[in-house]
């Protein structure tokens, strides 16, 4: 018995992000870091630098006021032992 391992991909839409850093601070696993790169609107867009820590709780996607966080979960075939 086991559950399927999930692969998680996170991307931030640079067109929409306004750099409010809510995702950076509220993420319990510290997945995001504040970047030094600005987007075309002049905001500092965070980078999902520690994706391997992500537990897929979805708070970043749900709380983002600009719908800029895109989190995709895909189920892999390999099983994780319980």
Partner 1 sequence: MENKYVKYLRNETLPTEFCVGCGCGTVLNLFCHVIDEMQINPDDIITVTGIGCSSWIPSPYFSADTLHTTHGRAIAFATGVKVMKPGKHVIVIAGDGDLAGIGGNHLIHAARRNIGLTVFLVNNYIYGMTGGQVSPTTPSTVNTATTPYGNVEQPMQIAELVAAAGASYVARWTTYHVFHLKKAMKEAISKKGFSFIEICSQCPTSYGKRVGKREGIDQLLDFKENSMNIQNVSGMREDELEGKYIVGKLVERNRLEFVDGLLNINAQFAEGVR
Stretch that binds partner 1, among 29-37, 45-53, 61-69, 73-81 (CB under 8 A): 61-69
Q: Using the rule CB under 8 A, is 79 a contact of partner 1?
A: no
SS3 for 13-80, per residue? CCCCCCCCCHHHHHCCCCCEECCCCECCCCCECCEECCHHHCCCCCHHHHHCCCCCEEEEEEEEEEEE
Closer residue to partner 1 in complex, CB, 41/53: 41
Q: Candidates 65, 77, 78, 81: give the one binding partner 1 (CB under 8 A).
A: 65
* Interaction pattern, residues 2-21, with partner 1; x per rule: CB under 8 A: ---------x-x-xx-xxxx
From first CA to last CA, the distance across the chain in angstroms is 7
Of the pair 72, 79, the CB lying nearest partner 1 is at: 72
């Amino acid at each position: 018995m086991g559950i399927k391992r999930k692969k998680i991909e996170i991307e931030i839409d640079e067109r929409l992000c306004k750099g409010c850093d809510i995702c950076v601070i509220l993420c319990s696993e510290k997945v995001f870091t504040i970047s030094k790169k600005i987007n075309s609107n002049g905001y500092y867009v965070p980078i999902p630098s520690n994706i391997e820590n992500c537990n897929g709780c979805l708070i970043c996607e749900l709380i983002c006021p600009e719908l800029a966080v895109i989190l995709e979960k895909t189920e892999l075939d390999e099983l994780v032992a319980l």
